[in-house]
Amino acid sequence: MTEMVRAEAVSFRYPEEDRPAAEGRRQVLHEICLQIRPGELVALVGANGSGKSTLARHLNALLPLQQGRLYVCGLDAADPRQWHALRQRCGMVFQDPDNQFVAGQVGEDVAFGLENFNWPAQKIAPRVAEVLTQVGLAGFAPRAIDTLSGGQKQRAALAAALAPGPQLIVLDEATAMLDPAGRQQVLDVLLRLRRQGTTLLLVTHLAAEAALADRVCLLSRGRVLAFAPPREVFADAALLAEAGVEAPLAGRLSHDLARAGLRLPFFPLQEAELAQAFCQARAQQAAAVPPAAAELPSAVSLSDAAPDNTAPEGAALPLTATAQRAGENMLETAVGKARADAAAENGTDDAPVLTLRQVVYRYPMPDSCCQPALDSVSVSFRRGEFAAIAGRTGCGKSTLLQIAAGLLPPQRGQVLCAGVPPVPGAPGMPAIVFQSAEQQLFAASVEEEIAFALRRLRLTAAERRARVRRALAAVGAPASWLPLSPFSLSGGEQRLVAIAAVLVMEPAILLLDEPTAGLDCRFRQQLLARLAALTANGVTVVMASHDMEALAEYASRLLLLDAGRLVFDLPIERAFANPDLLAAHGVAVGPAQAAASALRAAGCALPDGLLRYAQLHAAVLAAWTAGGEGGDVDALR
Look at 24-28, 212-216, 220-224 and tell me which has the smallest mean pLDDT: 24-28
SS3 per-residue string spanning 191-202? HHHHHCCCEEEE
Q: Where are the alpha helices (DSSP H) in 139-179?
A: 150-162
Percent with pLDDT over 70 in the chain: 86
What is the chain's mean pLDDT, rounded?
A: 84
Residue 21 has pLDDT above 90, yes or no: no
Any idea what DSSP says for residue 138? T
Q: Are 633 and 624 in contact (CB under 8 A)?
A: yes
Tell me what the mean pLDDT of segment 74-87 comes to: 94
pLDDT per position as a tens digit, 452-473: 989 888 888 899 999 999 999 9
H/E stretch holding 615:
helix 613-627
Question: What is the residue type of 422?
Answer: P
More confident position, 413 or 603: 413
Backbone angles phi, psi at 31, to 5 degrees: 45, 55
Q: Are 322 and 238 in contact (CB under 8 A)?
A: no
Q: Which pLDDT does position 365 carry in this prediction? A: 67
Any idea what DSSP says for residue 380? E
Tell me what the mean pLDDT of segment 378-391 comes to: 96
Which residues, 6+ apart, have CB-to-CB distance to 523 below 8 Å?
A: 47, 48, 475, 476, 477, 492, 496
Q: Which residues pair with 172 in a beta bridge?
A: 203
Residue 289 has pLDDT above 80, yes or no: no
Residue 40 has pLDDT above 70, yes or no: yes
One DSSP character per residue, 463-532 reads HHHHHHHHHHHHTT--GGGTTS-GGGS-HHHHHHHHHHHHHTT--SEEEEESTTTT--HHHHHHHHHHHH
Distance CA 183, CA 175 (A): 6
Tell me what the mean pLDDT of segment 217-225 comes to: 96
Q: Which pLDDT does position 235 carry in this prediction? A: 96
pLDDT band at 288 (very low <50, low <70, confident <90, very high): low
Half-sphere exposure at residue 119, Cβ-oriented, CA atoms within 13 angstroms: 19
Phi-psi region of 376 (alpha: psi -120 to 50; beta: other; left: phi over 0): left
Any idea what DSSP says for residue 564? T
Q: Are 570 and 400 in contact (CB under 8 A)?
A: no
Distance CA 80, CA 292 (A): 54
Q: Which pLDDT does position 20 carry in this prediction? A: 42
Q: Are 4 and 40 in contact (CB under 8 A)?
A: yes
Q: Are 519 and 549 in contact (CB under 8 A)?
A: no
Q: Which residues pair with 90 in a beta bridge?
A: 168
pLDDT per position as a tens digit, 150-171: 678 888 998 999 999 999 999 9
Tell me what the mean pLDDT of segment 613-633 comes to: 73
Tell me the Cα Rg of the chain: 25
Distance CA 382, CA 540 (A): 7
Distance CA 107, CA 142 (A): 6
Q: Which pLDDT does position 635 carry in this prediction? A: 28
Residue 19 has pLDDT above 50, yes or no: no
H/E stretch holding 70:
strand 67-72
What is the CB neighbour count within 10 angstroms for residue 352?
Answer: 17
Distance CA 98, CA 80 (A): 26
Backbone angles phi, psi at 593, to 5 degrees: -65, -40
Q: Which pLDDT does position 290 carry in this prediction? A: 52
Which residues, 6+ apart, have CB-to-CB distance to 549 below 8 Å?
A: 249, 590, 591, 592, 613
Q: Which pLDDT does position 594 carry in this prediction? A: 93
Q: Are 309 and 269 in contact (CB under 8 A)?
A: yes
Look at 189-203, 219-233, 622-636 and tell me which has the smallest mean pLDDT: 622-636
Domains, the chain, ordered by start: 5-228 (3.40.50.300), 249-322+593-636 (no CATH), 332-424+548-589 (3.40.50.300)
Q: Which pLDDT does position 17 carry in this prediction? A: 44
Q: Where are the beta strands (DSSP E) in 257-327?
A: none
Q: Which pLDDT does position 52 carry in this prediction? A: 94
Nearest C-alpha neighbor of 224 from the set 4, 29, 64, 48:
29
